[in-house]
Structures are given as structure tokens and as C-alpha cells.
Structure 1
Amino acid sequence: MGALLFAPATNAAGAPARPAQATATTETGTRIPLRDAIAGLRVADEDRSGYDRDAFRHWVDADRDGCSTRAEVLIEEAVTPPEIGAKCALTGGRWYSYYEDAYVEGASGLDIDHMVPLAEAWDSGASGWTSKEREQYANDLDQPRALVAVTAKYNRSKADQDPGTWLPPYEGARCAYLTDWVTVKTKYDLTVDNTELGTLQRLGAQCPNVPISPGTR
């Protein structure tokens, strides 16, 4: 794993920073206040029957430029750009892992986290999608909140949990995380269970009621 360099990261308003492309809500479509978006989420029990991670084909090279979705996210989110070599091999570079407020040197210590994990998406409605729809979800580069480069340690700590059972260890990141989670759930019309909804409502009442731009599927 690359060396971790811990340092506070805030934007001009003093709020926790995200990678530049993920802080802006510039996607096309309606902008919805965060708390309204939470109130609009559909509630349903989760059902993991039949789940298989391979049902979500991921890290494809959709634009055939030689770089997989994983590499595209790393290139886009880099604080210091890496060198891009043959077959999109990345050398050097620096990233900010907002879950724990840490800087990472080199891509080897990073995972690409599906903001709403694949298993959670399955539980929440993706079980009824086509294989192509699941592939699009697993490789969503159009919604900058859907995929995020974070340290492998905390991506694996999160695993397939929702905010009812897991939140970033860095408390200053939790409003950004909540916003990201609700944005993705809203875009894909994914349901929430009662525990998850209660957490979203509680945290949402404590966070800025920022407008989100989920975009469309």
C-alpha cells in the first residue's frame, strides 16, 4: 500500500472536501434538496436472494480507450495526476481518501468503492434489472458520486453495509457521504430499509440541505 499522509482537507466554507469532480452538482436533470430526496426514497425490506457479484459486470472499458472504469476513476480523482503508461498502467500520483481524511501516494493502496455497494443495490431493486442495466450501474462514470477512490482498508471495512451499520470513520466526511449515498439511491430509484432510512433522516437533519443532482438512468 502507498504511504498515507494524513492532513485536514476542507473547502472554502470549511466543509470536508471531496475530489473536485465529485463536489460539484453539475449533472443534468432536476436538483433536489437533500432532505426532500431522503423523504422521497421508497421503503422496502431487503432481499438478497440470488445475489451474485458476477451479475454486475464491472471495470469494463466502455469507451475503448484502453482504460477500465477503475483506471478512469483513478485518473479523474487524482490530486496529483499519475503517469499513464502502456495498457493504462498508472505510475505515481496522489489521491485524497475522504472516508478517513487521508492522502495516498500511488494507486496500489486504493480501491474504487461503489458508493451503494453492488450487494446493497441488488437488495434494493437491482435484482430486477437486466444484465446491461447492472453493468451500467457498476461502471457509472456519468454520476460522479457513484464511484469513489478510497483506501482499500476502509472500502473493505465498509464492504456491503449501508449507513445504518457503517459510516466513514472521519466524522467530518459524513455529510458528504450521506449526500453521495442519497444521490445514487435517488438516481437508480433504489429502496431503503427502515433502519437505513432512520439513519439518513437523523444525519440529514444535521447536515446542510444542499441540492443534489442525481441525473437519470
Structure 2
Amino acid sequence: MIKTTVRALAAAALALLPLAATVPAHAAETLSLHDAIKALPQAAESRDGYERSKFKHWIDEDKDGCNTRNEVLLAEALTPPTVTAGCKLTGGTWSSYYDDKVVEGPSGLDIDHMVPLAEAWDSGASQWTAARRQAYANDLGSERSLVAVTARSNRQKADQDPATWMPPAADAQCTYLADWVATKLRWSLTVDRDERDTLRARAVDCEDTDVEYDRV
């Protein structure tokens, strides 16, 4: 089950749960996957100076007691968890679209940054302010930016881009490419040559896939 289906099933459960405030965005644009990849600026990558701590997360921006991790879990739950004091979550079920696994309970899930923090640094975030890096690391303004997946798949992915890692579930491939490209466009991040070549090659099998995104 792809992520968009998961979000739709969870929407009703979220009606009374406000999400954290996000950076104001421009009007959404929609491109074919091919054209969206073409729109990505190409540049060499550098990890000089990267430290994960330079992207502050998980925060509780709207002060409702639930940090970004828990906001994502609440947003993506197939079966809503029980929420108790301190935004402690118990029970619930989730679908990890990377590996097409259904997970019971939140402890088996990681919240993955679609474009990993290290990759974002390599691709332009090294030049950002601390405030913009924090906004990126806690981006609840786009359903593509953060995703609840099995801890196993998230740790296999680590900080790799699509040139070296793709989700193992066959049905996830085109969705993942669209999510990756949309996130890079949203945050005006670059791609390197190998990444661009891989995206173009893999997009051949995703002719009917569109990319919807807004810029921040």
C-alpha cells in the first residue's frame, strides 16, 4: 500500500489533532516525474562540516505536547493509537510503504527524512541558517517530507540517495522517486550527476507518475 493511501485512511482520525506550524509555502506545482527531475539543479556534493546536531529535531512547534515524531505517527496511522499524557502513544497500526509491512505499535517504526539530513547538507543545506535546517528536519507541511517506516528499512537506507538505495517493495519504487524529487524541489536542493542519471533511468518505468510540490 503506497503512502498516499495510508494518509487518506488516517485523515479522519486527525480531525481534532493540530499539526505543528510550518514554514509558509508557495502555491503547489505539478509536473510529470520526467519534467520534475529535469527541474532539479545539478551541483557537486560536499559533506564538509556536517553534523546531525545541526538539524534540531524532534521539536513540539505548536506546543500541543506531541513532538514531530509523534505528529507523523498520528498522521500516518492506519488504526489510530491511544494517546495519553505527554503524548505517549500505545497500540495502533501503520503501513511501512518502503517494504510493504504492517507494523503494530509505534516502537517498531522510525520516522525517515525522505531526503536524509546528511544528503540535504550535501545538496545545499550547509548554506542554510540554523532556523531553516530546523524547519527542514521537522517539516510537517508536506506529506512527502517525513514518513513512518520500519526501523529496518530506515537503517538500511541510512543517508543514501536513489543511486545506491531504493525501497525493496516493487510497488514503492515510483512513489519513492516522486517523494524524493518533490522534497528536493520543495527545499531547492540540488542533485549530483550520479543521482540525476539514476533518477532519469528509473523514471522510465514511471511514465504515469506526477510530482506535486510547493517550495518553502
Q: Provide TM-score, normalisation by structure 1.
A: 0.88
Structure 1 segment 1-217 matched on structure 2, within 5 A: 9=1, 18-20=5-7, 28-217=27-216
Cα-to-partner distance string for 1:129-176 (whole Å, 9 max, x where unaligned): 000000000000001100000000110010000000000011211111
Contact 2:60–2:66 under 8 Å retained in 1: yes
Give yes or no for contact 2:29–2:212 (8 Å, CA) kept in 1: yes
The SS at the match of 1:192 is coil
Secondary structure at the counterpart of residue 152 of structure 2 = helix
Deviation at 1:21, TM superposition (A): 5.0
Counterpart AA for 1:186: L
Letter in 1 for 2:79: T
State the match for 2:21 in structure 1.
none
Q: Deviations over 1:11-37 (max 9, x none)?
A: xxxxx8652259xxxx94222222111
1:208, distance to aligned residue in structure 2 (A): 3.3
Name structure 1 gaps, 5 residues minimum. 1-8, 11-15
Q: Could you tell me which amino acid in structure 1 is paired with residue 159 of structure 2?
A: D
Q: If the length of structure 2 is used for normalisation, what is the TM-score?
A: 0.89
Structure 2: how far apart are the matches of 1:52 and 1:21?
Answer: 35
SS of residue paired to 1:154: helix
Q: Deviations over 1:172-215 (max 9, x none)?
A: 11111001000001111111111111110011121034332211
Structure 2 residue runs without a partner (length 5+): 10-25
Question: 1:13 maps to what in 2?
Answer: none
Alpha-carbon distance in structure 1 between the residues aligned to 2:178 and 2:95: 18
C-alpha distance in 1 between matches for 2:105 and 2:42: 40
Aligned residues: 200
Which residue identity does 2:7 align to in structure 1? A
Q: How far 1:91 moved relative to its partner? A: 0.7
Mapped to 1, the partners of 2:101 and 2:182 lie a distance apart of 24
1:73–1:112 contact (8 Å) kept in structure 2: yes
Equivalent pair of 1:33/1:211 in contact (CA under 8 Å):
yes
Residues 44-96 of structure 1: per-residue CA shift (max 9 Å, x gap): 11100000001000110010000000000000000000000000000100000
Q: Using the alignment, how far apart are the partners of 2:207 and 2:97 within structure 1?
A: 18
Deviations 1:97-129 (A, max 9, x none): 011111000000000000000000000000000
Identity across aligned pairs (percent)?
Answer: 53
Is this contact kept in 2: 1:28–1:213, CA < 8 A? no
Q: Distance in 1 between matches of 2:108 and 2:27?
A: 33
2:60 and 2:4 map into 1 onto residues whose CA distance is 28
Contact 1:18 1:98 in 2 (8 A): no
2-structure distance, mates of 1:100, 1:210: 20
